[in-house]
Each structure stands twice: as structure tokens, then as C-alpha cells.
Structure 1
């Protein structure tokens, strides 16, 4: 039912601050992925992302022992696991004061048959490609949406918006403190045969949405592994000296 591939690259960074894992067992009509994009520099951001992914993955894996019960309480469970991961970051910082300021985004899509739920904190995108069109499903907890509104109202032009110094400033993230915003949908999105999900860190967004859409469109009939390869190739072709870490999971509904 699901063809799933995960990819990760350091980009042009000296170290990897992303962490990603997917769990879709062959033949099972359910599964999930977890991705975190760390912040705080070497020996902090990478630790934060690993804490978040490890905590969320282990709890969801345990909860999937009873999938019907999990889906019934999915919103509560997802928010609880996010807060638990946040508490783990807080505990780590208490024991390691030098890591003060570390944090990570979180995006975790969960699928029961063809019913998609997710929890999202931060700016890591969850994309749905359907019938040739790419849509970001989750909220963007950064300044980017507000800056884009300034373009629509004529306050700034597109070039200024694209290079705005505050564009990537996060408005919500897991840092061990209060979580300002959590995107956790109560009603599921129904997936269709042929849909392609991409859950990613913002390193993939060095490509524009149009570039991501066209890349997937050209490879949509291929396997998830080939789609992932095409996306990485498109990023590498940019040859951007500031390319951030890239991590993502591609999921095809078959």
C-alpha cells in the first residue's frame, strides 16, 4: 500500500543537525514518520533533533501496538509525545548548561489505512503532491508567512521577501520551554491512490515549491527511491554554497 524512502544529506554544512526515521512495515495499512531539524550548532542541534526523533518514535511505536485505540485518541497522544520530547530537551539542558538554546522542529505524519494525521511544530514542511499539484499541508511556524503577506499587500517586493533576514526566524519550536504553537489536526486528510507525501526539513526548500512540484511531476510514476534521488539531484544542481542539511521521507500511496 505504501512505498517509502528516507534520504538525508549534510548539504554544505560541516555537521548534520537533521534526524529522520520512518516506520511502514510491508503489508500493514498504517505507519508513521518522524523528522526533526535541530538548532543550536554542533553538539547541540544534532543532539536536540535526535532527542526529539527518539522520544517521538519510541512512544508512537509503542502506541501502534493498538492502532484502533491510538487513532481514537490521536490528537491527545500526538500532543503528549511532543510535550514529552520537549521535556526531554529541558532535562538535557539542565544537565548540560552549555547546550542552552538548543532546540528542534518536529513534523510527524501518521497514517491509518488512508487517513492521514500529523503533528507539526516549527517550519519543517509536510507536502502533498496530488494530480500534478504540490500543497503544503502543515502550518509554517516561521516569519515567512507574515513576510509573504507583506508581498501580497505591496509593502515589499518578492525579491526582498525571498532574502529577508527574518524569513527563517521560528515562531514555535521545541526548546524545553512553553511551546507557542502546535499544528495537530483532529480531522484526518484522506489520501488517494497516486498521492505522494514528502515530509522534509527546510533544507529542501532551497528549491522553490514550483521546482519541487516539477521534479516530483517528472518522477511521479517511478519508485519513492527514484523520486528521492531526483529531489536530491535537483538540490545538488543548485550548487548553493549555503545549502543547509537536507532530510526527507517520500511516501507513495499505491
Structure 2
């Protein structure tokens, strides 16, 4: 599998995203964690979760890939709890991980970091969004909240790894078949403002980006996000992979 990885700090004071790509058995694992900005140490939370998740995947045994990924997720959540208990602080992070092997894909996610599939000139979101985005959009459409409230509160999370019980988990129970020509985009939500603008104003840009060699796409997306110059641009992490 060919892949590329790129990050940008955006307009924030520090990089609170963490991500990695790892070979696990006969599969390839990709993971992105986005530390929660309102907490004491989002960067510590995200890196702790990545390390603990990958460590569990490398050493645990399970009857199925979804079971293994859930074990790793809960291990990551416990690692976040222990780390911040020792620091006497609070922290949290999203987590999105994929596992590709034998032509099929599994994923697990908590939070709002998106997983996209590029297939036949379409960009399709595969995983659930555990933010308040859809609820706030419905309230806005009914005139119950202002546009400023929509923008501000859409990023509030309904579920995250904080060391407490995880409210919502999206995990594939049935493997998702991939096709030749498919490309996967694993990212933090820092990509979303740019992506929404491109889809509305220049959808052909996506076709141009995903027609590039996979080794270049992640950095080119980051370059596009930088050029978009969102005033409050969040940290952005992008992993792009071509399974076949």
C-alpha cells in the first residue's frame, strides 16, 4: 500500500494532533488522534492514545479485527486516564484508526476526525461524526440558533477519549471491500473548513488532487489548507493511502 503523511499546526500555538502508520501482521494500520483544545494538554492526550493503541495492536490477540481494534481503543482510553491522573490534570482526544488487509477495510473512531474514501471521482465519508455538527445544522435551518452559534458549537464533541466511559464508538463489524483505484483519506477535522469550501466552489480541485501520485497527495492537501488561510485554522493532519 502506498501512503503519504503530512501535518500543519495552523494558527494554533502548538500541534495537538498525533498520527502514525504501522504494519501489523499482514495488515496496515493508520491512526490520527486530535487532542481536545479546551483541555490542559491535548498534545499529551493525542500522543498517549496513539502510542497505547498501536502498542496493543502489536501485542494483543483477538478473534476478529473489530474486537482487536476495540481492545486497543479501550487500552488507549485507559492510558489517557492514567497519564492525566499522574499529571493531576485533564485531557482528551479523538481517535480514528483504519486496518487494511486482504482487499478489505475496517475502521474504529471516536470523535469527529473524518475517514473519507475517494472512489470514481467522489469523496465519501465512511465513519460517523460524533460532534454536534448535524444537530446544530438542524437547529440553524429551523432558525433556532444564529450562524455564530452554529460555527462555534458545531465542533463540540459528543464522544472522546478522556479516560471516562466512552459515549459513542463507530466500529465496522463487517469488512468494507475496497476496489482498484480507491484512495483513503484519514485526517483530523482541521481539513473540514477547506474541504467544505472546495466542494462548494471548486469541486474539480478534488479530482486534480487525487489524480496525483499518492506519495504527494497528503502534502498537497496541507498546502491547499494553508493557502485557504482560514482565520482560526485548527491543527491539520492528513494520511492518504492507495490500497492497490
* Residue in structure 2 matching 1:74, options 65, 69, 89: 65
* Residue in structure 2 matching 1:135, options 112, 124, 140: 124
- Does residue 237 of the first structure (1) align with residue 221 of the second (2)? no
SS in 2 for 1:173: coil
What is the TM-score when the length of structure 2 is the normalising length?
Answer: 0.90
Residues in 1 aligned to 2:32 and 2:215: alpha-carbon distance in whole angstroms: 18
Residues in 2 aligned to 1:219 and 1:208: alpha-carbon distance in whole angstroms: 12
Residues in 2 aligned to 1:224 and 1:15: alpha-carbon distance in whole angstroms: 28
Q: CA deviation at 1:43?
A: 6.2
What residue ranges of structure 1 are gaps of 5+ in the alignment?
Answer: 64-68
SS in 2 for 1:170: coil
Aligned to 1:122: 111
- Does residue 188 of the first structure (1) align with residue 179 of the second (2)? no
Q: Which moved more, 1:9-18 or 1:40-49?
A: 40-49
- Does residue 6 of the first structure (1) align with residue 43 of the second (2)? no
Aligned to 1:170: 157
What is the TM-score when the length of structure 1 is the normalising length?
Answer: 0.86
Structure 1 residues 166 and 42: alpha-carbon distance in aligned structure 2, compared to 1, 3 A threshold: closer
Over aligned residues, Cα RMSD in angstroms? 2.4
Residues in 2 aligned to 1:150 and 1:133: alpha-carbon distance in whole angstroms: 28
Aligned residues: 241
* Residue in structure 2 matching 1:104, options 90, 93, 98: 93
Residues in 2 aligned to 1:190 and 1:210: alpha-carbon distance in whole angstroms: 29
* 1:30-86 deviation digits (Å, cap 9, x = unpaired): 2111110002568611000000000111222335xxxxx75x412221111111111
What residue ranges of structure 2 are gaps of 5+ in the alignment?
Answer: none
SS in 1 for 2:181: coil
1:3–1:223 Cα contact (<8 Å) kept: no
